A and B are shown apart, each in its own frame.
Chain A
Amino acid sequence: MISGGAPARIAFVTPRYGTSVVGGAETLCRLLATNLTAHGTAVDVITTCAADHQTWTNDLPAGSSTVGGVRVRRFPVGPRDGRTFARLHDGIQHGAALSYGDQVTWMANSAWSPGMITAARGYDWVVAMPYLFGTAFWQVVDRPDNTVLIPCLHDEPHARQSVVLDSLCSVRGLMLNAAGEQDLMDTLLADHRGGSRPRSTPHVVGCGFDDEPIPTTVQARAFAGRHGIAPGYILYAGRRERGKGVGRLYDHYRAYRQASTQPQPLALMGSGDLMPPPDIADHVVDLGFVNPADRSAAYAAAGVVVQPSRLESFGMVLFEAWLSGTPVLVDAGSDVLRRHCEISGGGLWFDSAAGFGEGVDLILDEPDVRHRLAAAGREYTLTEFRWSAVRDRFTAALEAWS
């Protein structure tokens, strides 16, 4: 990819960046930037000095540094009124119909940085993510012709705001994470201004994975043994928040225990404040933070990995489970996750407590079914989302828009 005889200068724009920053879009940004740079497509990252997505205080020093081989340029968060933002953001969440002006005010008080906008003008291509923050929104406003958006769309009220949909339609290109995200975007735009379309054909790029061996039975058993749980458990990996569907997971798990003849324990990997209710707490094992070296063994020792979240634009957990040889059971309310399962054959989906319970039993009761689902998911991951394929799709997309 060249620009006037020299390699194109590419910058990624993201609200926060770093190895300790938790968040789907932030992780996607870091993995993409690191992998592209390591394989000859150098990218810079332009981000804020903030580490906390609640306070947005400028905790990190402004200036350049190198993180994982990637040049990172940090700029202070610009002036914003957090209370105004919270009022409008919560209003949208609860169904308030905001005027166009109020929607602009919402974005004006989101996290943004005038320094980032100025710095991004020095690049041929700016890849901004995700849609929900002022950092991406004002970047699209400033240079729509040179900006590509990785929106990381979720089916949520914020994605239905006119300013957001106008942003999707005005940007030079859109890189989506999955086929299901494309379906969601098509639905949102069909209802916008009597039917809108993006400026150019979106490209599904996503995130990549390396071909790693499935952990051995010995490794899986050793992991389970260290945590005092028998292999074959039901695993949830992610933040323990109501927004991630964990409250619903607890309810469904309770119903499953009452209906199943051989209920398995539920293991939780990750952090969060939403604790299991007392009546099921004895059957829930807290694995806490599992270091990356042990994570694939945690997946491999599970009988099934459940993903109750409806707000996913990619579904990283599914791929990690499949690579470790474990099938998945996902909430049918997420177009993205359900489509991954439909296409790959790597998992099933539920739309009720009964569907959850019977789905778990169907997978756990029949080892053959479990094995075939997991194998299909792994093949899908290594065919569609191998790093080399993702890099090719990324560069092909930029070339198509050049």
Chain B
Amino acid sequence: MDPEVRQLMDELTRRVDEKRAAGLYAVDDIREPASDPDVPYLAEQLAGVADLAEISPNLDGVGSTRRGVGMAVGKTKSVLARATSQPLIGVADQSTAFNANLVSYLSQLAQEVARLRERVAQLEGETVTRAGD
């Protein structure tokens, strides 16, 4: 591999780690899950999913940049958005409740799997020791 490209890719990896540590790109990394199905899902990834469990409609950013009438158009849009979002808010609440319970259940399962893994490793160690006796 070209040595400069190798250095730049190392720098790129460092920047990616830095941004992820700052909480950026969380949604997008989850959107595209790890391609290797044999790699276990990490607790940190699950924590990232938990952050997304809360669903809330975004009513910001409905303004208008039209000259002159922009403010009035923006205000009208906001009123309309809020007025027509009431059913959506109900659905969002229902989704949030479901997601929160599901993630909580998955977290319990993940902890149980981690505990069982430790127990298996411990038993395997004991078996090796006994065989050595």
Asked if B133 is at the interface (CB within 8 A of a chain A CB), the reply is: no
CA distance A352 to B24 in the complex (A): 12
B130 at the interface (CB under 8 A from A): no
Are A358 and B12 in touch, CB under 8 angstroms? yes
Cα A256 to Cα B4 in complex, Å, equals 24
Contacting pair A352 B25 (CB below 8 A): yes
Q: Which residue of B lies closest to A369 (CB)?
A: B8
Question: Is the pair A353, B2 in contact by a Cβ cutoff of 8 Å?
Answer: no
Given A345-B5, A358-B19: A353 touches B11 (CB 8 Å cut-off): no
47-88 of chain B: CB within 8 A of chain A: none
B24 touches A354 (CB 8 A): yes
Known: A353-B32, A362-B12. A343 touches B27 (CB 8 A): no
Segment at the B interface, from A104-112, A236-244, A247-255, A318-326: A247-255
Partner of A348, one of B9, B19, B29, B32: B9
The count of chain B contact residues (Cβ–Cβ below 8 Å) is 19
A161 close to chain B: CB less than 8 A = no
Structural contact, B4 and A361, CB atoms closer than 8 A: no
B115 interface hit (Cβ, 8 Å)? no
B28 touches A354 (CB 8 A): yes
Question: Is B5 touching A348 in the complex (CB atoms < 8 A)?
Answer: yes
Q: Is the beta-carbon distance between B25 and A342 smaller than 8 angstroms?
A: no
Report chain B residues within 8 Å CB of A357.
19, 25
One of B4, B12, B25 near A372 (C-beta < 8 A): B4
B21 to chain A, nearest CB (A): 11
> A229 to B43, alpha carbons, bound, how many Å?
44
Q: State the main secondary structure of chain B at its contact with A.
A: helix
* A345 and B28 contact, CB distance less than 8 A: no
Question: What is the predominant secondary structure among interface residues of chain A facing chain B?
Answer: helix
Separation of A258 and B16 alpha carbons in the complex (Å) = 14
- Is the CB–CB distance between B28 and A251 below 8 Å? yes
Q: Which of B19, B20, B24, B25 has the most CB of A within 10 A?
A: B25
* B42 contacts chain A at the CB level, 8 A cutoff: no
What separation, in Å, do the CA atoms of A250 and B104 have in the docked complex? 31
Q: Could you tell me if A255 and B27 are in contact, using CB atoms closer than 8 angstroms?
A: yes
Tell me whether A255 and B15 are in contact (CB under 8 A).
no
Per-position 1/0 for A351-366, Cβ under 8 A of B:
0111101110110000
The interface residues of chain A lying within 8 Å CB-to-CB of B9 are: 348-349
B7 CB to closest chain A CB (Å) equals 10
- Nearest CB in chain A to that of B65: its residue: A282
Residues A353 and B12 in contact, CB atoms below 8 Å apart: no
B39 interface residue per 8 A CB criterion: no
Q: Are A248 and B32 in contact (CB under 8 A)?
A: yes
B121: Cβ under 8 A from any A Cβ: no
The 9 closest A-B pairs by CB, nearest first: A345-B2, A353-B28, A354-B25, A255-B28, A358-B15, A354-B16, A259-B24, A342-B1, A345-B5
Taking Cβ atoms with an 8 Å cutoff, the residues of A that contact B are 248, 251-252, 254-255, 258-259, 341-345, 347-349, 352-355, 357-359, 361-362, 369, 372-373, 376
- Other A-B contacts than A343-B2, A373-B5, 12 sampled, CB-CB below 8 A, are A251-B32, A258-B24, A342-B1, A342-B2, A348-B12, A352-B16, A353-B25, A353-B32, A355-B12, A362-B11, A376-B2, A376-B4
